[in-house]
Amino acid sequence: MKPFENFDWTNFWNDSDYAKKAYIGKAPTDEEISEIEKELGYKLPQSYIELIKKHNGGIPVLRVFLTDDYEINITGIFGIDRTKRHSLCGELGSAFMISEWGYPNIGIAVADTISGGHDMIFLDYRECGKDGEPKVVVVDQESDYHIGVLADTFEDFIKGLTIDATEMENEDFALLDENQKCLAIKFLQEMQEEERVIELLNYVGIENLSAELMGMLARSYNNNNQENEAMRIMDMIPEEERKAVWYYRYGYSYASRCFPHNSEADNLKALEMFEKAIEKAEDEKVIEWCMELVEFRLLSGALEKNKSQTPLVYEHYKKYKNEDVAPEAPANDQQHKYNNLFDVNWIFDKHDYSAEEFEAKFNEKMTQRLGENWRETECNAPIEEAEILVTYEAWIESLEQLYDNECLTDDYEELLEEEKEDGMWQVDIRAHLKADNGKSFSVQEIVWKLQKLMANKELGDHVFFEGIDYEGSSSDYTEHEVPMFYVVCGS
């Protein structure tokens, strides 16, 4: 397939006077492209050649590239007209950045960023060779030229560019075309700027929004704890345009608007919406979202009661739970002995419970998830260990927050003040727990001991207990081998 086939270049470029002066070159000939390749010593990607034949370098309107690890703001994309300062072989091009700025000779500098030269976008030929398809990477000069992968191909990089809408005025947003509005809203939602999304889309006017933008508005209302507003917006979307994600979002509203004190009616409505979402789902993504909400909005009890009405949800949830707790490798065969903890319903908080207070609260939460007879279920099976080691993630201001049975894991030789973020260190803490009866832990006992340890520390959003992962055994902290676990917490 031809590079960028069906890609919409409309409004992609910002042909400002500065862009024309510093970046945009004349249309290249095949001979000029060959000369540049010979000078650089690398075969240019076909997708890059396709781009420069349409527009020989320039400043795009879409200038942000997001990954799980990076938020890159580019300034411009280099063309091959060497008379332009910002081009592959221009005054500030690839050779200059390598020779004068000390960038590693891994390929071709193809774009600059708003850092003013302190990080650059490169075509990285290390794996593919000089004639292969290079990855697109960012090289950070201020982090000892650290190299981070952004995209597998140049085409993927260009298609992944989006709009930085954080400082965009309402009036400018209203002037964007439909695709650009969607990209801008997606960017803001990635940044969790839900209130800004709500402000922008209401400025445009709900009556002027497409079904896709109304769905995005509903999502932001949901994420901003305004579930009834989300429902109001979703009701405006014509029935013929209600895809699987519409039913998922409506189910989210029902499952969340009174959580954790949902009515039976709301729980059933949520499950019915998830049932419809699964019916309409074209891939596994929406189904997985539904299963996560069944889990984290504590709907498993309601699902058990209503499985005949929502058979698809019930079937997929059983599969979800089996996959969630299945051992990943033979070395993890012992994990099944502790899988009952994945069904525990507990949210860690700052309260210092007495034994009686905790028992009452824990019983309330477990009844909410598994019913009044939860003690008779497999979830309440004891952990047949006299002592265990547990590791959990937390943020601390001082080592004085650690209890006598706690220490930092071996990953931390020293905590430096300059490594603090917002006055706290992010650390992994290991604790040595002993069963009260000297033989085994009840489920309630383990969770209570964890609650007491975590109450004086910051957990961020990761407060939902999701179980423990078996990590083998160790004698490093005791005089004999003791099972080790990682406490899994979700948000």
Three-state helix/strand/coil letters over 420-469:
CECCEEEEEEEEEEECCCCCCECHHHHHHHHHHHHCCCECCCCCEEEEEE
Q: What pLDDT score was predicted for residue 335?
A: 63
CB 375 within 8 A of CB 359: no
Cα Rg for the chain, rounded, in angstroms?
Answer: 28
Q: What is the pLDDT of residue 423?
A: 87
179-201 burial code (b ≥16 CB/10 A, e <16): ebbbbbbbbbbeeebbebbbebb
**Domain 13-162, CATH number (from 2.30.110.10, 3.40.50.360, 3.30.499.10, 3.40.1580.10):** 3.40.1580.10
8 Å CB contact between 41 and 90? no
Task: Give the Cα separation of 131 and 108 in Å (integer).
Answer: 13
With CA atoms as reference, report the closest residue to 248 among 207, 290, 281.
290
| Sequence letter at residue 429 | I
pLDDT value, residue 340: 66
Contact 358, 457 (CB under 8 A): no
Alpha helices in 331-395 (DSSP H): 355-370
Tracing tokens 């917002």 back to the chain, one arrives at 422
Which residue(s) pair with 137 in the sheet? Answer: 122, 149
Query: What order of strands is seen across the sheet that includes strand 146-151?
Result: 64-66, 71-77, 107-113, 119-124, 135-140, 146-151
Distance CA 22, CA 48 (A): 19
pTM of the model: 0.55
Say which residue the tokens 């265990």 belong to.
388
Q: Cα separations (Å) of 68 from 149, 160, 306, 419, 430?
A: 11, 13, 38, 21, 27
The b/e string for 220-237 (b: 16+ C-beta within 10 A; e otherwise) is bbbbeebbebbbebbeeb
Nearest to 164, CA basis, from 179, 135, 184:
184
Count of alpha carbons within 13 Å of 450, Cβ hemisphere only? Answer: 32
Structure tokens at 115: 């850092």
How far CA 216 is from CA of 10, 120, 363, 436, in Å, comes to 23, 33, 38, 51
Give the Cα separation of 85 and 94 in Å (integer): 11
E strand residue ranges, 199-312: none
Looking at residue 297, its pLDDT comes to 85
- Whether the bond into 382 is cis, omega within 30 of 0: no
Give start-end residues of each CATH 3.40.1580.10 domain in the chain.
Answer: 13-162
| Both tokens assigned to 246 | 């519409």
Residue ranges, CATH 1.25.40, the chain: 170-323
Domain boundaries 170-323, corresponding CATH code: 1.25.40
Q: 315: Cβ–Cβ under 8 A, 6 or more apart, which residues?
A: none
Other beta carbons less than 10 A from residue 133's beta carbon: 17
d(CA 160, CA 114): 18
Query: Would you write out the chain's pLDDT as a tens digit for each of its 491 residues?
Result: 789 998 989 889 999 999 999 999 999 999 999 999 999 999 999 999 999 999 999 999 889 898 878 889 999 999 999 999 999 999 999 999 999 999 999 999 999 999 999 999 999 999 999 999 999 999 999 999 999 999 999 999 999 998 878 878 899 899 888 888 998 898 898 888 999 999 999 999 999 999 999 999 999 999 998 999 999 999 999 999 999 999 999 999 999 988 777 889 999 999 999 999 999 999 899 999 999 999 888 898 899 999 999 999 999 999 988 765 444 444 445 666 677 677 788 999 999 899 899 999 999 888 877 788 888 887 888 888 999 999 999 999 999 999 999 999 877 767 888 888 888 999 999 999 999 999 999 999 999 999 999 999 998 878 888 888 888 888 877 778 899 999 988 76
